[in-house]
Amino acid sequence: MRAEKRVPEAKTRPKPKARFTKADERQALAESLQDDIDTLEHGYGAALRFHRQHVGKRTMRKLQRGGYSVQAEIDLHGMTVDEARQRLADFIDYSASQGKYCVRVVHGKGLGSGDRGPVLKNAVNRWLRKWDSVLAFVSTRQVDGGTGAVYVLLQRT
């Protein structure tokens, strides 16, 4: 073959390098350390989930699927944090003393809270974890309120 009809030799290209990978990782880490843990874990649409160590996986799966009948419900919409805490504490104590096993707490998604995020949702999450009569809770199915409510399993007293 003549030289002018040959395919030119391909130059070997260097392998691509991600120039900003380390910088991006450092920035993401720095941002995650700046935010409050409640804000990170429980944004507007995040589902809540908690259980005591002795509560089994089957029980949690059944609770998440709405397999327990809801025996009582409280709606905390429109309440201040102080009002909601007292009303929820009374509701949980009364429900447990009445032998109720599964209740629903409607806290809302916090869409009206603006930049503060879901105030009542985060507060309910913290409170329920602290009370001994609460065995477990998960965000409800969509038909029961989705991430704006939780099913709560109670220990009978």
pLDDT tens digit sequence for 95-124: 999 999 999 999 988 766 666 668 899 999
Residue 60: its pLDDT value, please?
Answer: 95
153: nearest Cα among 139, 141, 140, 137: 137
Q: Which domain holds residue 28?
A: 21-154
Enter the DSSP assignment of 98.
T
Residue 50: its pLDDT value, please?
Answer: 94
Phi-psi region of 4 (alpha: psi -120 to 50; beta: other; left: phi over 0): alpha
Asked if the structure places residue 96 within a domain, the reply is: yes
* Overall domain count for the chain: 1
Answer yes or no: pTM beyond 0.75.
no
Residue 90: its pLDDT value, please?
Answer: 96
The beta strand positions in the chain, using DSSP E, are 49-51, 72-75, 102-106, 134-139, 149-154
Residue 112: its pLDDT value, please?
Answer: 66
Asked if the structure places residue 4 within a domain, the reply is: no
Residue 153's beta-bridge partner residues? Answer: 102, 136
Residue 62: its pLDDT value, please?
Answer: 95
Q: In whole angstroms, how large is the CA radius of gyration of the chain?
A: 25
Q: Give the domain CATH number at 31.
A: 3.30.1370.110
Residue 75: its pLDDT value, please?
Answer: 95
Contacts with 139 (C-beta within 8 Å, 6 or more apart), sequence order: 47, 48, 49, 146, 147, 149, 150
Per-residue pLDDT in tens (0 to 9) along the chain, 157 residues: 555 666 667 777 877 776 677 777 777 777 666 544 444 444 456 889 999 999 999 999 999 999 999 999 999 988 899 999 999 999 999 999 999 999 999 998 876 666 666 889 999 999 999 999 999 999 999 999 899 999 999 997 6
Residue 35: its pLDDT value, please?
Answer: 46
